[in-house]
Structure 1
Amino acid sequence: MNTIANFLKTPYRAGAIRLSIGTLFVLVVASVILLPEFLAPENLSNLLAQSTVLVISALGQTFVILTGGLDVSVGSIISVTTTIMTLDMPEVVRVVLCIAVAIAFGLANGYGVARLNVHPIIMTLATMGIGQGLALIILPIPGGKVPDWLSASVAGSVGPVPNSLLWLIAATVVAAWMLYRRPFGLYLFASGGNDFNARMNGVPVERTVIKAYILSALFACAAGMFLAGRLASGDPKGGATFGIESVTAAALGGVHLAGGIGSILGTVAGAAILGIVNNVMNLANVSAFLQSVVKGLLLLALVVSQRRKTIGL
């Protein structure tokens, strides 16, 4: 265990975080210069609200990627959550049901990957399909009504601070606490860095992987609640894009898709980069189809460029 602890003290485990923050700075400056409307209060408010869902889901995705896996079911969990919050039942029951469903999806994903040795993409693709179908069964078309307190918690503010920023900060603090202040975080880095050595040093690799997928699902649930509050309704396809975008955001933040390298701050920076890219393309009236092409090419470029020797291993 001492060997693993010593390894994790090196700065390389954080990935290319400086590059991510530098890229974010350059992107913001370029956006301000090229698009004056970027700094409009309405646009900044919209950017923050849009990015919050992405940040929360990407933080959960980070736990899974650090183990060397991927969770493409994130988007369907977000969608299911928005639909459950519109059900005609007591509000507390809706929240509890959302959490229970998220845990069930996370447990299924984790058990399938860790115990049944199903490839992470295959396993989470299966649960993604199940989740999407469940969302459409609950709410075939967008609509319904979520609790007023949920909408208020998203749209309001505490003094000059928007509630959406408070959601983002809360999710970031929880993720950072889990990763840096709990043994679980150490186990994540160790499992993703070299699972064989981790086992030899007493790390409960399988249990760690299962917990990572459960956390990913719970963060997706939180993102879904935020989205439901923002829409003030449910949308069975509202989270469709976040499965891939959460992976892209984490990769942009220096989280290595092979596992074992990454940071919470990097993921937040990566999500901010992708959020700004989305926002700028909308301001520039880029078609939705071309936006999908751009984001697909971006993810491909990240996968190709992520070589261990370039980020410290």
Structure 2
Amino acid sequence: MNLTGNSPLFRYMGNRGHRQGLWLLPAALALAIACWLAFATDQFATSENALNLVAQAMPLLITAVGQMLVVLIGGLDLSVGSVISFTTAVLALGGPAYVIVPSVLLLAAVIGFVNGVCVTRLHVHPIIATLSMQYIVLGITRVLRPVSGGTVPDIVRWSVEGHVFGIQMPLIWGAITLLVAWKLLYGTRYGVHLFAIGGGSAAGMDDAARNFGIPARRNIMLAYVGSSLFACAAGIFLAGRIVSGDPNVGLLFELDAVTAVAIGGTQLSGGVGSLQGTVVGVAILALLSNGMNLLNVTPFVQTAIKGCLLMFVVALQSRRRIGL
């Protein structure tokens, strides 16, 4: 296969002709993986495994949607994994749910706000800013909860394990996440601004959006706040699923989220992407993880495969300059 910069595959994956990105090829890949697993294992094509697959994929879906907000502007948020762990640790401290849940959401918003200030006001590269925040939040998390334990409020547990009118709560979480994300990206002026900011950044014209009257700094800061809030929501879901706090539960979520966004056709240089593509990217990773678990593949090999997949997808994306 020709993998030079002029190959059809490079031109397909790097095409910036449509801001929705090219996600049909990954969708076909997800379908192929599902069909292969249905034939390769007896446990895959069961209702129990399907529900388990949805529950396993939901934290990643929520995190990846938030990550996509930042990637669209040409940024990256590497602090989401620590935010997830931090959320579970805070929820497991004890206390009434009506106090502790809003508090952890507020703290997550502050984390995102600080990330945004570092990027827009202090002009720190997004990778450095959010990587620093990752270590800061991780350190605080391990002070609060050195090892897994504690108990989370009953309402948090019910929000994951319960059901409404016979509908399992993970499905409701997914529906709410996608509705909120769809409204943000396609139902408001804010979504248009994100694409415009990212498009200018990808073309090497960082001031293009600002020259057209778009409040770029404010929108970038809101993107980082949104990313942290989505990561916090994923942490709430995970806390309800494991019914405790865990300082390591968010480990490598940032890698998985970026990989899912990139696989779904969102350009890491910004300006091009789609919500459906992110969903497809999450589905591919969830299917691979579920299938490898059913085939008894060691988690270490799974992590290596995800890393190779991310490197391959990013290599296929066209970039005008060195960077994301």
Counterpart of 1:73? 79
Within the candidate set 175, 178, 183, 1:172 is matched to 178
Considering fraction of residues, name the structure with more helix: 1
Within the candidate set 190, 204, 213, 1:184 is matched to 190
Counterpart of 2:281? 270
Count of aligned residue pairs for this structure pair:
300
**Distance in structure 2 (CA, Å) of the matches to 1:121 and 1:67:** 13
> Is 2:266 aligned against 1:255?
yes
Counterpart of 1:109? 115
CA deviations over 1:171-215 (Å, ceiling 9, x no partner):
111011011111110110000000322111111111111000000
**Distance in structure 2 (CA, Å) of the matches to 1:308 and 1:24:** 26
Within the candidate set 99, 105, 117, 1:99 is matched to 105
Counterpart of 1:229? 240
Answer with 141-150 or 194-203: which moved more.
Answer: 194-203
> Is 2:300 aligned against 1:286?
no
Within the candidate set 191, 202, 212, 2:213 is matched to 202
Note the C-alpha offset of 1:36.
2.2
Matches within 5 A, 1:132-147: 132-147=138-153
Answer with 26-35 or 226-235: which moved more.
Answer: 26-35
Counterpart of 1:239? 250
Counterpart of 2:126? 120
Backbone CA RMSD of aligned residues? 1.4
CA deviations over 1:63-100 (Å, ceiling 9, x no partner):
00000010010000000001111113222221122111
**Distance in structure 2 (CA, Å) of the matches to 1:161 and 1:266:** 25
Note the C-alpha offset of 1:11.
6.9
Which residue type is aligned with residue 147 of structure 1?
Answer: P
Counterpart of 1:4? none
**Distance in structure 1 (CA, Å) of the matches to 2:22 and 2:182:** 17
CA deviations over 1:111-169 (Å, ceiling 9, x no partner):
11111111111100000001111111111111111111111110122244211011011
CA deviations over 1:253-282 (Å, ceiling 9, x no partner):
111100000111111111111111111111
SS of 2:207's equivalent in the other structure is helix
**Distance in structure 1 (CA, Å) of the matches to 2:31 and 2:96:** 45
Which residue type is aligned with residue 99 of structure 2?
Answer: V
Structure 1 unmatched runs, 5+: 1-9
SS of 1:52's equivalent in the other structure is helix
> Is the 2:96–2:153 contact (alpha carbons within 8 Å) kept by the matching residues of 1?
no
SS of 2:130's equivalent in the other structure is helix
Within the candidate set 289, 301, 314, 1:303 is matched to 314
Matches within 5 A, 1:7-86: 12-86=18-92
**Distance in structure 2 (CA, Å) of the matches to 1:161 and 1:36:** 26
Which residue type is aligned with residue 137 of structure 2?
Answer: G
**Distance in structure 1 (CA, Å) of the matches to 2:179 and 2:264:** 17
SS of 1:87's equivalent in the other structure is coil
- Percent of aligned positions that are identical: 44
**Distance in structure 2 (CA, Å) of the matches to 1:227 and 1:42:** 19
Structure 2 unmatched runs, 5+: 1-15, 201-205
Within the candidate set 212, 217, 222, 2:228 is matched to 217
SS of 1:39's equivalent in the other structure is coil
SS of 2:177's equivalent in the other structure is helix
